[in-house]
Copies of this chain bind each other. A is one copy, B any other.
């Protein structure tokens, strides 16, 4: 046997990325083999190399795509307004965006050490860019006297760490709805920086 019925790069390609995403998130990059991914796709391991030059690139592409989408989605937030309003929009956006993609988020935070140094550096720039958006909101709030934040850089990291924590426990259909979660966290974020 060789080329199989119904085979298409347009369908196999996404399947490869989806399988890798799910398996990496569940078992970790190092614990997943190319043969496992191929098995999920319904293909032999060799066929994966039509879609990625190697395993490392597969991981990098997943992370890069995730962060590109994060920055693009944030950039398209309509009318962010003044500091307090902007901070609320950031908080709500962050929780929603991350709750919608638990696997991508998990990989992006857990598998950083499995990137080559060059790939790591590229991902870090994107992550840092996102953090700086929040940092800028805080800084402007301090200038306008709306916020009392001694160190905006630290505060930004603290808030993001807190918001990322949602993904460790939030599940759709659980005790709390997403809007309820957003309200609870917004209450804490707001008070933590208020003057």
Instruction: Decide if B162 touches A113 in the complex (CB within 8 Å).
Output: no
The answer for the CA separation of A81 and B154 in the assembled complex, in Å, is: 28
Instruction: Decide if A188 touches B28 in the complex (CB within 8 Å).
Output: no
Copies in the complex: 2
List A97-141 residues whose CB lies under 8 Å from chain B: 110, 113-114
Q: Which of B30, B162, B187, B189 is in CB contact (< 8 Å) with A161?
A: B162
Q: List 13 A-B contacts (CB under 8 A).
A: A27-B113, A31-B114, A110-B110, A150-B184, A154-B181, A155-B184, A157-B169, A158-B188, A162-B162, A162-B165, A191-B191, A191-B192, A191-B194
Q: A176 near B: Cβ within 8 Å?
A: yes
Q: A26 near B: Cβ within 8 Å?
A: yes
Question: 1/0 per residue A19-38: CB within 8 Å of B?
Answer: 00000001110110000000
Query: Nearest Cβ distance between residue A32 and chain B, in whole angstroms?
Result: 9
The answer for the CA separation of A185 and B181 in the assembled complex, in Å, is: 22
- Given A31-B114, A160-B165, A165-B160, decide whether A176 and B191 contact each other with a Cβ distance below 8 A: no
Q: A54 near B: Cβ within 8 Å?
A: no
Q: A193 near B: Cβ within 8 Å?
A: yes
Cβ of A11: which chain B residues have Cβ within 8 Å of it? none
